[in-house]
Amino acid sequence: MQDSLYVSLSAQIALQRRLDTIADNVANASTVGFRATGIRFQDVVSGTGQKSVSFASSGNTYLSAANGALTQTNNPFDFAIQGDAWFALETPGGTIMTRDGRFSMNENGELMSVEGYPVLDAGGAPVQLDPRGGPPVAGADGSLRQNDNLAGAIGLYQFDPGENFVRYGNSGIVPTRAPEPVTDRIDVGVAQGFVEESNVNPVLEMTRLIQVQRAFEDVAALVRKTGSSTEEAIKTLGSK
């Protein structure tokens, strides 16, 4: 009986973590550049042979690789990545990766993120523009021109978020290893005047939310049933 109680408890912990990821996805369904969180579960087996018991693991999170839809803004400081790459930002927590390309130029000509962090070029240095040169014109490779002169370039990077990744801000991801600049890739580019929307499918996430809630209720009912059976067994054995 205790085994069933422990199995139910492990299932509740796993379901709670799944519920947390779904709630986070739904909350960020309108966050520019947000990538949905998925989670993988595995059986954890205790004992061997007929005495083995399978428990649910707490799960490992992973980042959805699906691209979000592109929305045209016609803002020359909005950029969207086409393909598998990321922008790099310099933050107080170190370099982070993001797909949110809502940038601006400050009075010093530095290209800044919507949170006010410097945007990095392929060499890892902040992108520096001419503050008097006006809005830049971006090439598909991320190069930036002002008055027909090359002024800088937005860095595009690739990295592996891995399992149980760490987020930074609304849509940033903290890389566990140094990201590598993308070079000579015809399948990766920058679209100026566009932003990438969240890749969260709200309808699908709400469906998953309902499924998890029902599963949680089923497990809770099993826990109550197990507790009642244990009480009955104690009463029966204690009366003899």
> pLDDT per residue over 144-177, tens digit each?
999 999 999 999 999 999 999 999 988 999 999 9
Q: How far apart are CA 31 and CA 199, in angstroms?
A: 9
Q: How far apart are CA 58 and CA 15, in angstroms?
A: 8
pLDDT given at position 214: 84
**Cβ burial 45-57 (10 Å sphere, 16+ → b, else e):** eeeeeeeeeebbe
* SS3 assignment, position 228: helix
pLDDT digits (tens, 9 = 90+) for 194-229: 999 999 999 999 998 888 888 877 777 776 666 555
Spell out the long-range contacts of 9-14 with Cβ–Cβ below 8 A and sequence spacing 24 or more. Answer: 9/223, 10/44, 10/55, 10/56, 10/57, 11/56, 11/215, 11/219, 12/216, 12/219, 12/220, 12/223, 13/56, 13/58, 14/41, 14/56, 14/57, 14/58, 14/59
Q: Which residue type sits at 227? A: G
Do the beta carbons of residue 118 and residue 110 sit within 8 Å? yes
| pTM: predicted TM-score of the whole model, two decimal places | 0.81
Q: How far apart are CA 240 and CA 236, in angstroms?
A: 7
pLDDT digits (tens, 9 = 90+) for 17-40: 888 899 999 999 999 999 999 988
Chain-centroid distance of CA 210 in Å reads: 21
pLDDT given at position 1: 44
- Asked whether the predicted pLDDT for residue 233 surpasses 60, the reply is no
Q: Which residue has the tokens 């309108």?
A: 30
Q: How far apart are CA 77 and CA 144, in angstroms?
A: 11
